[in-house]
């Protein structure tokens, strides 16, 4: 009997990705003991909340959540407010908070350049060795053709003892949802998620803390940009290319007997060429 957690993850990988949120809730309702593990390992579409202090939108995920409260990266407060004792552990300060603020600013610029809209947020937290973070971007569009892009980039960073460089580990997931309904096509639903990983050592410029912090932010930003571009191209290839290939395998456009005939004459030509002496 395999492990229920693995079974739940496998199930979520087979059921339609456009319903991952509902399916996750359903699985938790029939296996409540898996709730915490599943919520922290399954990527679902991101929710948007408005920060009451700054008036800006931010994205909600497991990393800025405490119970039902979420922390805004703009004001650094939990909404609804949480216990002060818990806040001491969960609200970042000092170096982590400074980097988090700078990271949010850069990702904001990145988002406007590549997405021309949408919402972005970044959260960082201290680890025993090094620190970790997540960069989130979300964009939706509606109309006859609806679409939604959610990207979740999770970082793990360990500084070298010399502080001249750091090791960056990035796991990125893009959740893409496309739908089109018109007379020409009928109804089309194409949804899914792809995950890729990257590990890189990058240099840290400067000797003072502020310079090192800026280096980290620049390195992380560069990695996110490269990874998201890669994923965007991969998605195009996989979503449309692969789906088209499979449909072609199910039913061919041209007559199969013609295709067979062509293959056989190709083989004949090649074998004749192979027999000829040069």
Partner 1 sequence: MSSKTAIISSFIEAAPPGELSNVVADIKTLVGDDLQSYEPAFRKYHEEQYTAVDVPGGSGKVLLSQYNSLGSNRYFDPTSGKSFAVSFPSLKTSDAESHSPATSNLDLIQSLQTAFSKSTIEHFPSSTIGVFPTGSDIAILIVANKYSPQNFWNGRWRSTYILSDSGKLSGTIKVDVHYYEDGNVRMQTEKE
What is the binding site for partner 1 (CB under 8 A)? 1-4, 6-8, 10-19, 23, 25-27, 29-31, 185-196, 238-239, 242-243, 246-247, 249-252, 255-257
Place of tokens 């400074």: 98
Q: Least distance to partner 1 from the beta carbon of 177, Å?
A: 10
Q: Least distance to partner 1 from the beta carbon of 78, Å?
A: 27
Q: Least distance to partner 1 from the beta carbon of 34, Å?
A: 9
Q: With respect to partner 1, which residue has the nearer C-beta, 255 or 278? A: 255
Q: With respect to partner 1, which residue has the nearer C-beta, 2 or 277? A: 2
Q: With respect to partner 1, which residue has the nearer C-beta, 196 or 266? A: 196
Place of tokens 């973070």: 133
Q: Which of 90, 93, 74 is nearest to 82 (CA)?
A: 90
Which residues is 138 bridged to in the sheet?
A: 119, 150
Q: With respect to partner 1, which residue has the nearer C-beta, 32 or 117? A: 32
Q: b vs e for 20-56, b when ≥16 Cβ sit within 10 Å of the residue's Cβ?
A: beebbeebbeeeeebeeebeeebbbbbeeeebeeeee
Is there a contact between 62 and 39 (Cβ–Cβ < 8 Å)?
Answer: yes
Angle CA(114)–CA(115)–CA(121) in degrees, nearest 5?
A: 100
Q: With respect to partner 1, which residue has the nearer C-beta, 132 or 238? A: 238
User: CA–CA separation, 179 vs 174, rounded Å?
Assistant: 16
Distance of CA 213 to the CA centre of its chain: 24
What are the start-end ranges of the H helices in the chain? 4-14, 20-30, 35-41, 84-90, 94-115, 209-235, 243-250, 256-275
Q: Least distance to partner 1 from the beta carbon of 240, Å?
A: 9
User: CA–CA separation, 170 vs 193, rounded Å?
Assistant: 16
Q: Least distance to partner 1 from the beta carbon of 231, Å?
A: 10
Q: What tokens appear for 191 in the block?
A: 């949804």
Q: With respect to partner 1, which residue has the nearer C-beta, 174 or 223? A: 174
Instruction: Write phi, then psi, for 131 (nearest 5 degrees).
Output: -145, 170
The DSSP symbol for 64 reads: G
Q: With respect to partner 1, which residue has the nearer C-beta, 14 or 272? A: 14
Q: Least distance to partner 1 from the beta carbon of 145, Å?
A: 14
Q: Least distance to partner 1 from the beta carbon of 103, Å?
A: 26
Q: What tokens appear for 225 in the block?
A: 């940009």
Q: Least distance to partner 1 from the beta carbon of 12, Å?
A: 8
What are the start-end ranges of the H helices in 52-194? 84-90, 94-115
Q: With respect to partner 1, which residue has the nearer C-beta, 207 or 246? A: 246
């Amino acid at each position: 009997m395999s492990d229920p957690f693995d079974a739940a993850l496998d199930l979520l990988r087979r059921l339609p990705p456009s319903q991952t949120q509902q399916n996750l809730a359903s699985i938790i309702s029939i296996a409540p003991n898996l709730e915490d593990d599943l919520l922290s390992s399954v990527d679902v579409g991101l929710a948007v909340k408005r920060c009451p202090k700054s008036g800006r939108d931010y994205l909600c995920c497991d990393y800025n959540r405490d119970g039902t409260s979420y922390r805004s990266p703009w004001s650094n407060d939990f909404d609804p407010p949480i216990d002060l004792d818990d806040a001491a552990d969960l609200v970042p300060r000092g170096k982590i908070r400074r980097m988090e603020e700078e990271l949010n600013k850069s990702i904001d610029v990145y988002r406007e350049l590549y997405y021309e809209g949408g919402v972005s947020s970044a959260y960082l937290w201290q680890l025993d060795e090094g620190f970790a973070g997540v960069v989130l971007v979300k964009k939706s569009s509606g109309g006859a053709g609806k679409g939604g892009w959610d990207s979740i980039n999770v970082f793990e960073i360990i500084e070298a003892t010399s502080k001249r460089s750091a090791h960056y580990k990035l796991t990125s997931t893009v959740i893409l949802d496309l739908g089109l309904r018109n007379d020409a096509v009928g109804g089309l639903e194409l949804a899914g998620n792809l995950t890729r990983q990257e590990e890189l050592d990058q240099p840290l410029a400067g000797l003072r803390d502020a310079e090192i912090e800026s280096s980290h932010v620049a390195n992380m930003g560069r990695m996110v940009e490269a990874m998201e571009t890669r994923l965007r191209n991969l998605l195009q290839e996989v979503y449309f290319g692969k789906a088209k290939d499979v449909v072609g395998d199910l039913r061919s456009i041209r007559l199969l007997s013609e295709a067979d005939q062509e293959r056989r004459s190709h083989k004949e030509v090649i074998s004749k060429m192979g027999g000829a002496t040069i």
